[in-house]
């Protein structure tokens, strides 16, 4: 875990995500790169379209803003332990947000993208209609979504909501590596509908799956916990009510838990995610 990428639009949620990234980078001994994507402002007139300024001028202006932002972040995050402060750099480029993020991610071989979410009221609209959802669906890197209300207080427990299939192996390998830096526990939660699976031996299957993951990763602090409920919705609500979770994680599949969490009435019941970071692996992370 050597490279963390933090997209920014200079908003408060983006700045909060950058602070969270720096706190994690201190433990991970990682480098943080803050990136901004911009487009040239082009006003309309009777004589046609023309840019207000050229790319070099705008890039210089944004670079100055990024420099001030990074200095502010380091001043606020590293005054107590300057020796442990990670290296933080910045980049900006013209183009669509997703394209710029993917380009920079490939250039620096990013291990993790950390993005900010808006406040409680705008959480659902933000994740479904913003660049963060595009990064999850079209990107190839894990994305950690930091709600505006989240503050870094260390990482002791990471929950993975999975289905115990081969598709879960790579995400769990990643999580075990991440957790090892923090000496954190990885808890694999499997939501099981009681009326369907009560007598199918899922507990034994889950324990065997975790045993194989311990062997594969060499990480012992990983455990299996079935979430027995009357239906998936109730299981999701149970996860949302837990107070000791530092990161919720999952693999994004079509029509999976992520869609359930951020759709319709379920989103309102999952308001707790406005204070719990959500780590999402893209569909092709297998």
Q: Residue ranges of the domains in the chain?
A: 3-146, 157-278
List the pLDDT tens digit at each of the 286 positions of the chain. 799 999 998 888 889 999 999 999 999 999 999 999 887 765 555 555 555 566 777 788 888 899 999 999 988 887 766 667 899 999 998 888 888 999 999 999 999 999 887 644 444 444 434 566 677 777 789 999 888 888 999 999 999 988 888 989 999 999 999 999 999 999 998 877 655 555 567 778 888 999 999 999 999 999 998 877 655 556 666 666 667 889 988 888 765 555 555 554 444 444 445 578 888 888 877 6
Question: Could you check whether 3-146 and 157-278 share the same CATH topology?
Answer: yes
pTM metric for this prediction = 0.84
C-alpha separations of 257 from 150, 233, 253, 280 in Å? 21, 9, 8, 11
Query: What homologous superfamily does CATH list for 157-278?
Result: HUPs (3.40.50.620)
Smallest Cα–Cα separation from 149: which of 189, 190, 118?
118
Question: In CATH, what number does 3-146 get?
Answer: 3.40.50.620
How many residues are present in the chain? 286
């Amino acid at each position: 875990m050597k490279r963390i990428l933090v997209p920014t639009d200079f908003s408060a949620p983006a700045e909060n995500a950058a602070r969270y990234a720096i706190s994690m980078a201190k433990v991970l001994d990682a480098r943080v790169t803050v990136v901004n994507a911009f487009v040239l402002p082009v006003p309309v007139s009777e004589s046609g379209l023309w840019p207000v300024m050229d790319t070099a001028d705008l890039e210089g202006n944004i670079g100055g803003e990024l420099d001030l932002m990074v200095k502010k972040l380091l001043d606020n995050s590293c005054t107590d332990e300057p020796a442990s402060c990670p290296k933080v750099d910045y980049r900006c480029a013209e183009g669509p947000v997703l394209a710029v993020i993917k380009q920079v991610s490939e250039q620096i071989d990013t291990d993790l993208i950390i993005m900010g979410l808006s406040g409680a009221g705008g959480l659902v609209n933000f994740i479904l209609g913003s660049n963060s959802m595009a990064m999850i669906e079209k990107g190839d890197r894990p994305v950690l979504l930091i709600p505006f209300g989240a503050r870094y207080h260390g990482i002791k427990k990471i929950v993975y909501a999975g289905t115990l299939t081969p598709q879960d192996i790579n995400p769990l390998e990643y999580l075990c590596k991440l957790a090892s830096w923090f000496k954190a526990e990885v808890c694999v939660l499997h939501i099981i509908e009681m009326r369907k699976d009560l007598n199918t031996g899922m507990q034994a299957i889950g324990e065997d799956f975790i045993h194989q993951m311990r062997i594969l990763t060499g990480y012992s602090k990983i455990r299996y916990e079935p979430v027995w409920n009357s239906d998936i919705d109730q299981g999701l609500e149970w996860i949302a009510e837990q107070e000791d979770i530092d990161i919720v994680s999952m693999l994004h599949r079509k029509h999976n838990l992520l869609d359930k969490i951020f759709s319709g009435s379920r989103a309102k019941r999952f308001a707790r995610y406005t204070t719990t970071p959500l780590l999402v692996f893209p569909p092709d992370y297998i």
